Amino acid sequence: MIQPGLIELENISLTLPGFALENINLTIRENDFFAVIGPTGSGKSLLLEGMLGLMPFTSGRLLFNGTDMDRVPVEKRGLAIVYQDFALFPHLDVAGNILYGTRYHGISRDEAQNRLEHLSDILGLSRILDRRPHNLSGGEKQRTALARALILNPSVLLLDEPLSALDPVFHGEAKELLKRIHREMDMTIVMVSHNFDDVIYLADRGAVIHQGRICQTGDINILFEKPCDLFTARFVGMANLMPVKVGKGRVTVEGSDVSLRTANQPAFPFGYMGIRPEDIVPEPEGDVPVGSEPVGNRLRGTITGIDNHGMFIRVGLDSGGLQFEAVWPRRYIRQYNLSHGSGIRVYVSPEAVHVFREKLDPVPGCQDKAPLS
Amino acid sequence: MIQPGLIELENISLTLPGFALENINLTIRENDFFAVIGPTGSGKSLLLEGMLGLMPFTSGRLLFNGTDMDRVPVEKRGLAIVYQDFALFPHLDVAGNILYGTRYHGISRDEAQNRLEHLSDILGLSRILDRRPHNLSGGEKQRTALARALILNPSVLLLDEPLSALDPVFHGEAKELLKRIHREMDMTIVMVSHNFDDVIYLADRGAVIHQGRICQTGDINILFEKPCDLFTARFVGMANLMPVKVGKGRVTVEGSDVSLRTANQPAFPFGYMGIRPEDIVPEPEGDVPVGSEPVGNRLRGTITGIDNHGMFIRVGLDSGGLQFEAVWPRRYIRQYNLSHGSGIRVYVSPEAVHVFREKLDPVPGCQDKAPLS
Amino acid sequence: MSVLNRAKTDGMGLFFMGFSLPVILLLTLPLIEMAREPTVAMLFNTLKDREVMLAIARSLGFSLSAGLLAFVLGTPLSYLLARRTFPGKKLIEGIIDLPVMIPHPVVGIAILSLAGRTHPFGRFLADMGVQIMGTPTGIITVLLFVGLPFYVNTVKAGFESVPARLENASRTLGAGTWDTFRRITLPLTWRHMVLGIIMCTARAISEFGAIVIVAYHPMTAPVMIYERFTAFGLEYSQPVAVWLIALSLLLFVALRMMSRSAVQYQR
Amino acid sequence: MSVLNRAKTDGMGLFFMGFSLPVILLLTLPLIEMAREPTVAMLFNTLKDREVMLAIARSLGFSLSAGLLAFVLGTPLSYLLARRTFPGKKLIEGIIDLPVMIPHPVVGIAILSLAGRTHPFGRFLADMGVQIMGTPTGIITVLLFVGLPFYVNTVKAGFESVPARLENASRTLGAGTWDTFRRITLPLTWRHMVLGIIMCTARAISEFGAIVIVAYHPMTAPVMIYERFTAFGLEYSQPVAVWLIALSLLLFVALRMMSRSAVQYQR
């Protein structure tokens, strides 16, 4: 029953009135936890609908394990999905929901019962098997929807914004649960999300989608650290984005004297610099890894703002007439005597200075290729 | 026209079939940015409806600037609200929406036009004044709804989950905008939210509401750092919650040898300990503030997990048979050579060890009083 | 309680209530008065009149048949209108509403036009032994014509109230379109269908103008009421009307109760 | 295109379409046939018949009056049913649907029961000089009775489609309940009201059984169609029916167009 979960999308397009997915190429490998990331309206949920067979692609090929899915109806594709709103059947209780699909997958009554017990154990549903969906909390609904999909041992599990309908209180639990499911069960997971924080915790690989096109795809850490264009950079939380002239091992911010060493030598003469706000650190801390001194960047700045974000603070810095933004633990306020208008020296490692283009030629661009920086 | 914005709720109750707000006492001071915080279904939006006059309170008194509002209809209360879904009038363009209320507030046509120009300048709406709401992005809708409320110079502005309907991309901008509005305009803001991160950035004071009752109220930093019961603690992101015996200047985790110094001496013999995950720091860093050595807590632990959350990592530590959780910047992985199973020494300042009760007597409890720890 | 209080203090609510009163009175007073006028003795005498009971039984029977036919023939169309997009959908939705505006005698005339021997379809029907004029077949056809819009619109709204997402979820779990319809859509719209049958039957019971054209006999209750009114006057038609309405209400209550227990059985 | 393709390949869709066909045919074929049978000459002759045109004008005029009365009297009730909760709301919703199931002659009889001289209300009406039997007043009353449910249900759905939150937002901005109704609710439900008037008028045009009880004269089109059918047969009634339906459709198209431009004017 268990099949490998290789998914290939070849030149997929899907045209609707007023919106289109264009020329999507993706390879999702077996046992990947693959994230499709993009803002609302970027087309990522439409892509899921297309993969499920609920929306016919206008052109292109969709292959599961090498088999063209074009004429395979929804119910034969063997893809399970957990919807954002969970889509539980309101007239069935939790057990009825979970068992729903078993009869279509040659699972015997006894076997189905065994799996039900096992899954409801794991997912903490044992005591609510006879409740109706409208009596469940958000977290319970989600776990029921997961169990309903997992009981079929699908080779591919699709998750449509799995965390956005949950209260912050359930959010952390649900994240861990999804991670555990991927670790312990043998399947490919494709998740659609607009929240990069969730994605980076869960996914191995991913693709960034924007206005129906894929901007970048690859290892999730590379998307995070080396976004290949300005849109992706903003989306993954890169800050301190400034236009730069590129020199040998250095970038110079346009219209200023500020010049920074970079370990990411790009092949183009003009572009954008980006530094993650948490990679700008106060100087004493920057001293710790001794030896990095000769190649490090040291800046002297004035604090222009300190905003409290709970766990961390966001600090505004003026250095050489440029505005930088750093994120630090809250205890630094006391530790470094931070206050509005006071001076501070900060350190930026050359690895943390990223360089990329403003915009990429979308076709064939950087699809499934190494990023440019 | 501009009035002070003092709001007092005295013993407010509101009973609905299946839900009730009970015995709410709150004082919201002039020019406060006050947050009502609680999970979905806690009754916080109902409280707003009651303050607006859209839902009659079953008992209790609501005073604005000392005046009882019981018989004052909605349209005379002078409260402006920005709803979560913005509630823009679909048949009016942006300008029509913004100007809607002016004729009821004795604002002349010229004056209204001036304010419209001023506000659309500030809020970046000047170029979309003739668009209909369905053509606006989430951020534009929100700014229109804000302008529609602000043009009336309200003494009190209510915000109903102002950030939850926005894409992460607009989230940051919107937060800054709200902060700026509060700083630059003279008004009391009451915000309802379930997101503590937003609250701590924006609000000065707040109240935590849970199942229709207020758990704790006061300065936002105190809610954050010294939650007075277990529910509030969890809600504000406190971690490492463990039952403890309380001694003099120390707490001992029940069923273990682990004993920690605390600067927060409680007046009860048993309770819960909580340490924010970012307050457990690796030892070399803990060394930095010299002089704190004699009172600090030093623990030796084994790393049981490192989870990547993007900007930061969440590290699991086993120390003396107990599981601790810490949150550190991502670069610590390299800096301290963190890896699964490796040993590490961590430091916890006595100020960071909080102690509170599991549950408080709800009435009169800690309403608008100092926290207990 | 508190909601009422609020409505009381609010001027527009009061004003609107004042404006609504004549409407409520217009709809209820005539019926109450009609039911009040006949004496109990007259009502019981009417009950013993075999012809009256036969006419009422025919009315209920034919109307219920039309309701059940609407269920069989109208359900697929309702589903298509609620779920699919296809060219000409707007036109078909317009056609569904047509019977509401066609004058009732015209409905009868139109159906006779088709069934007449001058028309090939009419001849085909006659050859099959199917008679329209003056037969139960004709009456049920007419009642189906006038009742269908009520069934289709009610059940279409029912299908629309089931999120398409639930059907999609069912299909991703391996159930084909038929199984999905049977296990998800049907249990969630069962009540709407019963309501649709009731609406269609109710509309059919009320029909007179089309029936009187197609079949004066076998006599149905509205025709009998009309006949008694013209022949003997108001007070002889009232008791029949009262019994017809009372028995129809009984039928609808029974159908509603059946649908409740059916829904509970189903899980 | 692609959506159609999908529907084609799917067995249930095809099956359902097959089942829907008889319904569509049942609703359209009789009317098409009826319109096809009269010759063009006959249609034109009928057009010149002053009595026919008068009857059609009466039907349209009385029905439109009922529609406009429904607008005046039914709008407040629709708003209350859509927005407020009050005890007895379910009962009133049931009463609104009553006219659908009351046999049409019974509607006439019930209204005569109330208006009769034996009843205090009837005497009051008579003293006021208001006659029901055989007058336009009686006809319009009957038409309002049968048409109101269509108006109220359509407009209630319209009010329900406006989120209460918009009205609340308006009130927090300083507009009272009246201003809110005028500036927010009304512009957003205007189309529903026109549609409700059309539905009510359409239902009124179709009425025959109740009119024939209350007023054979002044003769309305359905009564004339019935009279011609019984007196002269099918082919003499068909042209009148065709003209009635054609002119009604014209009226509805005109109303729709008016409402479009009205909505555009309003901003």
- A73 → chain D, closest CA residue: D10
User: Mean of the per-residue pLDDT values for chain D?
Assistant: 88
Q: Which of A295-309, C203-217, D134-148 has the lowest mean pLDDT?
A: A295-309
Identify the pLDDT of residue D7: 40
Mean pLDDT of C5-10: 48
Identify the pLDDT of residue C94: 86
Identify the pLDDT of residue A18: 80
Structure tokens at C128: 């099959």
Tell me how far apart the terminal alpha carbons of chain A are, to the nearest angstrom: 43
Identify the pLDDT of residue A284: 65
Nearest to B74 by CA among D168, D260, A343: D168
pLDDT band, residue D236 (cuts 50/70/90): confident
| Greatest mean pLDDT range, A18-32, A216-230, A290-304 | A18-32
Nearest to B36 by CA among B161, B166, B165: B161
For an interface test with B, give the residue of D173, D178, D190 to mutate (most B CBs within 10 A).
D173
Exposure pattern of C131-163 as b/e (b: 16+ CB <10 Å)?
Answer: ebeeeebbbbbbbbbbbbbbbbbbbbbbbeebe
Mean pLDDT of A99-122: 95
Place of tokens 């899980």: C267
* DSSP-derived pairing of the beta strands B205-210 and B33-37: parallel
Q: What is the pLDDT along chain B (373 residues), one digit of tens a residue?
A: 345 678 999 999 999 888 889 999 999 999 999 999 988 788 898 999 999 999 889 999 999 998 999 889 999 998 999 999 999 999 999 999 999 999 999 999 999 999 999 999 999 999 999 999 998 988 899 999 999 999 999 989 999 998 887 776 678 888 889 999 999 888 999 999 988 888 989 999 999 998 899 988 999 988 887 887 888 888 888 889 999 999 888 999 998 889 999 988 778 888 889 998 988 988 765 444 544 455 678 899 999 989 888 778 899 999 988 999 999 988 888 888 889 999 999 999 888 898 888 765 443 333 333 333 3
Residue C136 preceded by cis peptide, ω within 30: no
Contacts of D205 in chain C (CB under 8 A): 101, 103
Tell me, what's the ipTM? 0.84
* H or E element that contains A33: strand A33-37
User: Which residues does B102 contact at the CB level (< 8 Å), separation at least 6?
Assistant: B112, B115, B151, B152
pLDDT(A289) > 70: no
D partners (3+ CB pairs within 8 A) are: A, B, C
The answer to whether residues C73 and C210 touch, using CB atoms and an 8 Å cutoff, is no
Place of tokens 């599991």: B358
The structural domains of chain C, with segments of one domain joined by +, span 49-266
Looking at chain A, the whole-number percentage of residues with pLDDT higher than 70 is 91
- B132 → chain D, closest CA residue: D267
pLDDT band, residue C261 (cuts 50/70/90): low
Q: Give the C-alpha separation, D135 to D217, whole Å.
A: 7
- Within 10 A of B263 (CB to CB), how many other CB atoms are there? 13
For an interface test with C, give the residue of A89, A132, A159 to mutate (most C CBs within 10 A).
A89
Tell me how far apart the terminal alpha carbons of chain D are, to the nearest angstrom: 36
Contacts of A310 in chain B (CB under 8 A): 196-197, 200-201, 224, 236-237
* DSSP-derived pairing of the beta strands B250-253 and B239-246: antiparallel
pLDDT band, residue C118 (cuts 50/70/90): confident
What are D166-196's pLDDT values in tens digits?
Answer: 999 999 999 999 999 999 999 999 999 999 9
Mean pLDDT of D2-27: 73
Supply the DSSP string of A279-330, one letter for each residue: GEEEHHHHTSSTT-GGG-EEEEEEEEEEEE-SSEEEEEEEETTEEEEEEEET
Task: Tell me the shortest Cα–Cα distance from D60 to chain A, in angstroms.
Answer: 41
pLDDT(C7) > 50: no
Identify the pLDDT of residue B3: 54
Task: Tell me the shortest Cα–Cα distance from A76 to chain B, in angstroms.
Answer: 35
Altogether, the residues listed in chain B come to a count of 373
Residue D218 preceded by cis peptide, ω within 30: yes
Exposure pattern of D51-77 as b/e (b: 16+ CB <10 Å)?
Answer: ebbebbebbbebbbbbbbbbbebbbbb
Dihedral-angle region of residue C228 (phi above 0 means left; psi in -120 to 50 means alpha; beta otherwise): alpha
**Stretch 54-83 of chain A: residues touching chain C, C-beta under 8 Å:** 54, 73-77, 79-81, 83
Looking at chain C, the whole-number percentage of residues with pLDDT higher than 90 is 55
Contacts of B70 in chain C (CB under 8 A): none
CATH number of C49-266: 1.10.3720.10
Contact A52 C179 (CB under 8 A): no
3-state secondary structure of C178: helix
Structure tokens at B185: 């305009």
For an interface test with C, give the residue of D71, D143, D203, D206 to mutate (most C CBs within 10 A).
D206
Identify the pLDDT of residue C97: 87
What are B316-361's pLDDT values in tens digits?
Answer: 999 988 999 999 988 888 888 889 999 999 999 888 898 888 765 4
Q: Give the C-alpha separation, D152 to B205, whole Å.
A: 49
Domains of chain A from N-terminus onward? 7-225 (3.40.50.300), 230-283+294-356 (2.40.50.100)
Contact B90 D188 (CB under 8 A): yes
Identify the pLDDT of residue B329: 86
Mean pLDDT of A325-339: 87
Altogether, the residues listed in chain D come to a count of 267
Q: Where are the beta strands (DSSP E) in D51-173?
A: none
